[in-house]
Amino acid sequence: MKHAGTHITVLLEEAVDALAIRPDGIYVDATFGRGGHSRAILARLGAAGRLVAFDRDPSAIEAGRAIDDARLTLVHAPFSALAEELDALDVSRVDGVLLDLGVSSPQLDEAERGMSFRFDAPLDMRMDTSRGETVAQWLAHASVADIREVLRDYGEERFAHAIAKAIAAARSGGAVETTGQLAAIVEKAVRTREPGQHPATRSFQALRIFINQELEELSEALPAAMRMLAPGGRLVVISFHSLEDRIVKRFMRDQSRPDDAPARMPLRADQLPQPRLRLLGKARRPGAAEVAANPRARSAVLRVAERTGVAA
């Protein structure tokens, strides 16, 4: 098993460069993980700078306590609570927000987290192990229709119905409580799969996204981050699968378009509605060298936008 310290931060320099850090600025690392981006941000901040780092995973917050830096504030909370938590810290505006989505290597590589079918372990999958239902608890009462919907919507699993029925059938012989049990059920239900992909890959992804409400959290966090950004502040997001990236791309695109001007009202050019965000460059992906060194980086997409002076 890999040690938690082996986590490799994806698109590290590109993401931190995109924040355009000012030495005296206030920045948010909304997904601390094991602190790769946070350490790089702190290295560029001056003595008057400040970094607020969020993570919903208690293990990540505990790991962050090893960083002895008065400029860093750790917050155990999901990034959807960004605005409320910053307000509690008397932070009204920030100069940059970074979101590195998905799961960290320790979450995947620590068997007890139950996020990987590579280990037979309790079927948990929660990012915040201090609250909420585990996947095993949810599967114990979910209907076939609910399981099918989750697998279809969050995993884009074309065999969602067959897998849902197989899970329900397996429950009649006892609870589905381990990753090994679930992987075996899915493997029997899936008739074919893409070369090189385990039959349970999409199901595990779907259940993890669902139990952690990852897409809903992201949909709440993006407008909250935009509201907290000072004019000229940067929103930097790294996505790892199409469902996340679709939400990020649509949000940035929509906010980079001005609201419609009132019909039949003569306006000067400087009176026309202006967008709240300005897109900066095209989406970026890791280079071949980074993917070779860290295969988990292969699906990463980096998008960057800058806050304008228009009120949210």
Provide the annotated binding site for S-adenosyl-L-methionine: 35-37, 55, 79, 100, 107
Question: What span, in angstroms and rounded, lies between the C-alpha atoms of 35 and 55?
Answer: 10
CB count in 10 Å sphere of residue 221 = 25
Secondary structure element (H or E) that encloses residue 138, with its range: helix 135-141
Question: What span, in angstroms and rounded, lies between the C-alpha atoms of 77 and 57?
Answer: 8
Question: What span, in angstroms and rounded, lies between the C-alpha atoms of 185 and 174?
Answer: 13
Mark the binding-site residues, compressed into ranges.
35-37, 55, 79, 100, 107
Question: Rounded to whole angstroms, what are the CA distances from 214 to 14, 66, 80, 219, 263?
Answer: 24, 27, 10, 9, 39
Pick from 251, 305, 309: which is nearest to 282 by CA? 305
CB count in 10 Å sphere of residue 88 = 11
Question: Rounded to whole angstroms, what are the CA distances from 60 to 104, 111, 177, 274?
Answer: 9, 16, 25, 39
Position 62, amino acid: E
Q: Which DSSP symbol is given to 77?
A: S
Question: What span, in angstroms and rounded, lies between the C-alpha atoms of 239 and 135?
Answer: 23
Those residues whose C-beta lies under 8 Å from the C-beta of residue 220, and which sit 6 or more positions away, are 80
Contact 261, 273 (CB under 8 A): yes
Position 77, amino acid: A
Crossing angle of helices 144-155/201-211, nearest 10°?
100
DSSP strand pairing (72-76 vs 50-55): parallel
Tokens at residue 290, please? Answer: 């980074």
